Homo-oligomer: A and B are copies of this chain.
Amino acid sequence: MNLELSKDYIIALEDALERRDLSAYEELLNEAHPADLAEILDKIDEDYASFFYEAIADHLGAEVLMELDEDLRAKLLEDYTGEEIALELIDNLDSDDAADLINELDISQRREVLENIEDQKQAMDIAGLLVYPEGTAGALMATEMIKVKDHWMVLECVREMRKQAEEVEQVHAIYVVNEDNKLLGTLSLKKLLTTSTRTPISEVYSLKVRSVEVNTEAEEVTNLMQKYDLVVMPVVDPLGHLVGRITIDDVVDFIRDEAKEDYNLASGLTDEVEAGDTIWLITRARLPWLLIGLFGGLLAASVIGRYEGDIGMVPQMAFFIPLIAAMGGNVGVQSSAIIVQGLASQSLGDNSTLSRLLKELGVALVNGLILSLLVIGASLFLGYSMKLALTVSVALFSVIVVAALIGTFVPLALDKYKIDPALATGPFITTLNDIIGLFLYFQIGRLILGL
């Protein structure tokens, strides 16, 4: 079996469609994973995508749809009425995907969809999931899972599992609850296979079960599942009732998305852009950051402008402008990157902001000392005057220290006010440090060069 989407496959599919050879066509579709079909749809021309989607809609529509880019999904959904979404799509989705899909619709259509879901319990489950804010365990979880009661026998359990297993795609865990639906523990499949069918479940289940509450942050769920190597994590309400479960595949997607977002912010890219997007989309994602850079550059120009006379007298002062600006930027990004990652992995520990600043100060002092000694040697070697070399060196030291403190403080402050600290990395902190650095440089120049 082919692991990658082959060109041959697409050609064969197109061919079958053109020849209207339904049996060959169905066979090809049966071979393909919804994720493969979604990849085809994402890659081909939009108009042709609608046509292609229509052809597979009856078969795998719902699953393919959930694998698509949000934009394309929205476009394809335009052809559905609320009733069709409920009957043809929602019915074939797990509750978490169904809730995600409904969340992307506009308010009026949401209601229409929910009212048209035939299975009342399913409709209630999905409506329940819509309540949880994005980024919480509740928003990540699905309600499909295998639950057994603690007073059952193993035989009853197997029977019930067979019934429940029909709507659960893959059995990762069996949860044991009491009459009130309170989560008590888990029953391993291994135990189930190795125990006589007449054993009471209460005798064989494990009390060791980690769970999270519905309002736990997604970031924390991710960290816990990674730390304890969990494939599935049960979710309980504040009273301990089992309400859902989060599977590792959703967590993997979350980790990737978060990493991408941080990386994009550090690189000066807003929105999710991919190499395959149109020139205009790519431009739009980059322009805001470049505008910050431009504005910062103009500000820097006016800072330097205040020292126009000094530059007129000692033009060599201008030579080191890029050095000062670049080092301030680099140091600031390094400091904030450490903090951003520490915040994300919750590994900063109980250290207060103050002790964090002190540590960065220590690192900055060491780095600053090494680099300013190097720069004084290099500039003397390159033939600059002692006074200029001293100016550059002292300025560099100050810039490194100040940039490190700003780079540490800004993400911590943003995080305190619930703003994504990753915003602090990238063009923003670089620009800020540029300006402060230049100001320090020229002020120190005035002192040392006696301008």
Chain A residues within CB distance 8 Å of chain B: 1, 3, 33, 35, 39, 43, 158, 161-162, 165, 168, 170-172, 188-190, 193-194, 208-210, 212, 224-231, 248-249, 251-253, 255-256, 259-260, 262-264, 266-269, 273-276, 279-280, 282-283, 286-287, 289-291, 293-294, 296-298, 300-302, 304-305, 308, 311-312, 315-327, 329-331, 333-334, 336-339, 341-342, 347-349, 351, 356, 359, 362-363, 366-367, 370-371, 374-375, 378-379, 382, 425, 427, 430-431, 434, 438
Contacts and interface: CB of A to CB of B under 8 A. Distances in A.
A367 B269 CA distance: 13
Given A162-B194, A263-B266, A297-B327, 18 more contacts: A165-B190, A171-B189, A189-B189, A226-B256, A255-B255, A259-B263, A263-B263, A264-B337, A266-B267, A267-B425, A279-B366, A286-B331, A290-B334, A297-B320, A298-B382, A304-B322, A308-B316, A312-B315
Contacts of A308: 315-316, 319
Given A224-B3, A256-B226, A302-B382, A334 B165 contact: no
Contact of A359 (B227, B259, B269, B279): B279
Given A279-B363, A298-B378, A366-B283, A326 B293 contact: yes
A319 to B, nearest CB: 4
A193 B208 contact: no
Contact of A367 (B231, B283, B330): B283
Contacts of A293: 323, 326-327, 330
Given A189-B171, A337-B264, A322 B300 contact: yes
Nearest to A282: B363
A64 B320 CA distance: 51
A168 B189 CA distance: 12
Contacts of A193: 158, 161-162, 165
A34 to B, nearest CB: 9
Query: Among the interface residues A168, A260, A317, A323, which one has the most CB atoms of the partner chain B within 10 A?
Result: A323
Given A252-B226, A262-B263, A311 B318 contact: yes
A171 B171 CA distance: 10
A290 B327 contact: yes
A371 B290 contact: yes
Contacts of A227: 33, 35, 39
